[in-house]
Amino acid sequence: MMLQEKNAIVTGAGSGIGRAIAIAFAREGAHVIVSDITEESGIETVQMIEQATPGARAAFVRADASKPEDHEALVLSAVARFGPLHIAVNNAGIGGELNPVGDLSVAGWKAVIDVNLSGVFYAMHAQIPHLLTAGGGSIVNIASILGQVGTAGAAGYVAAKHGVVGLTRAAALDYASQGVRINAVGPAYIDTPLLEALPQEARDALVTLHPIGRLGRAEEVAELVVWLSSDRASFATGAYYPLDGAYLAQ
């Protein structure tokens, strides 16, 4: 197993990509702290882990990604429960308000930046000292294809995800010589509960954006994150890895 006896935190693990990552981590032998703002969905993820991988060690800790004190408490809880921190996946995020820049509310801008960008900084700020204490480890920040290109009506989200990519690169340079690897993953449109609420015609339109001819699956993102978090990716740091069905190749 690729993550045998590693201790990991996954934020936003109550559904979608975060849930798939948490389940894959447990399958590969990691002890997983499942974090989410919604207790019910986070506990459900823990139950799914226990069903999929009998004997796996997993626990839920509630945290609001926009609050630095929640990240500090999350890391302390993880270390108290499982021991030294080896892996963190900063996946928690929101879609945010969709409006042209001139119509985007200040509150809408702040909400998406607070979670999607500042939340990643707060997370790494809390996690990195513990990774250093453990002798090194891996952080994977979940960005987006919109961390490389734009789309109309989503200025806050696009700005935040571009920021996540830049923050990842800067942090990787800060800690490359100290055994902490930091990378970003950029999924395209993934078939998660968030998209299930869309009308069929809207889903069909999203499919056409991907030359591969379909939406991505959360489990496919999880496989890349597992590799980046493992010792098999020991020379991988400071990089952005798209997983996009050739979206960015166009």
- Read off the pTM: 0.97
**50 found inside a domain:** yes
Look at residue 39 in the predicted model and tell me its pLDDT: 98
CATH of the domain at 20: 3.40.50.720
Query: Which tens digits make up the pLDDT trace of 160-217?
Result: 999 999 999 999 999 999 999 999 999 999 998 778 778 899 999 999 999 999 999 9
CA of 135: how far to CAs of 10, 130, 132, in Å?
A: 20, 9, 5
**194 found inside a domain:** no
Look at residue 104 in the predicted model and tell me its pLDDT: 98
**83 found inside a domain:** yes
**30 found inside a domain:** yes
Q: Supply the range of the domain harboring residue 87.
A: 7-189+219-249
> How deeply is 200 buried, as exposed, middle or buried, from its count of CB atoms within 10 A (0-12, 13-18, 19+)?
exposed
157 in catalytic set: yes
Q: How many domains does the chain have?
A: 1
**162 found inside a domain:** yes
CA nearest to 97, candidates 109, 87, 89: 109
Q: Spot the catalytic one: 157, 175, 241, 247.
A: 157
* List of the chain residues with pLDDT < 70: none
**29 found inside a domain:** yes
3-state secondary structure 35-84: EECCHHHHHHHHHHHHHHCCCCCEEEEECCCCCHHHHHHHHHHHHHHHCC
Task: Give the integer Cα–Cα distance in Å for 154 and 96.
Answer: 8
Count of beta carbons in the 10 Å neighbourhood of residue 232? 11
**45 found inside a domain:** yes
**199 found inside a domain:** no
Look at residue 2 in the predicted model and tell me its pLDDT: 97
Look at residue 197 in the predicted model and tell me its pLDDT: 77
